[in-house]
Amino acid sequence: MSVVISGALIDGAGIPMSGCHIILKSRVNTSEVVMRTVADVVTGNCGEYCFEAQTGKYCVYLKQDWRDEYCVGDIAVYDDSKPGTLNDFLTALDEGDLKPDVVKRFEEMVAQAQQGAETATESERQAGQHADAAARAKEEVKKLAEGVQQNADAVAEGKQQAENLASRVEDTAAEVRQDAEAAKKAASDAEHVREDIDTALSATLKTANRLSELADEGEEAQQESRDNLGLKSAATMTPQSD
């Protein structure tokens, strides 16, 4: 795979370096390039250049006119490298340009980023679970509200029934009070009748006792009369001679 490197080569005064050789010397073997092979590109009149660099690592040399070539730096071309100028690739940091402490810090940053990504993934998963739980809770609350409404309707109906029952109980109580008053009056009337009966019985007993006394007196008078009649008969009888 190749990456396009293009731009204009200029010196420190901003003057285009026309006819300058850009020499790439391969440093490593890759699937496309053999190490120590050399690629040579010549700039145009305005210092412009454009070539497709194969993936690999290169030492970059410049050579203009009769001067000797000189090294200007190293570049690395990767499969995922973006197209750019020669300056972009020369100024890009490579693994060899990083100090150990910088590499360590970079690795820590990568680890933190990875951990942050994992945390974000876990948070997203938990958020999904919370959303599901919230949806279930909402559904349960809805069902509970419906149940409460049904209970409220049942309570209202029960209250109406209780009021109707209380009204019937009040009517029954009034009837019971009326019956109690009637029973009380009947008991009072019965008491008066009993008193009248007792009075009549007492008078009857007195009359019976009086009749019994009169009967006894009559019997005594009759006996006395019989006795008196016997004495008189004896007095009037003529004595008989022998």
Architecture per CATH, 2-96: Sandwich (2.60)
Could you tell me which of 194, 181, 7 has the C-alpha nearest to residue 86?
A: 7
Give 148-197 pLDDT, tens digit per residue. Answer: 688 777 767 877 887 887 788 688 778 868 877 887 887 787 788 678 77
Task: Output the pLDDT for position 48.
Answer: 98
pLDDT of residue 172: 76
Residue ranges of E strands in 113-205? none
Threshold 0.85, pTM exceeds:
no
Q: For 63, which DSSP code?
A: E
Residues 69, 61 contacting (CB under 8 angstroms):
yes
H or E element, residue 4: strand 2-8
224, pLDDT greater than 60: yes
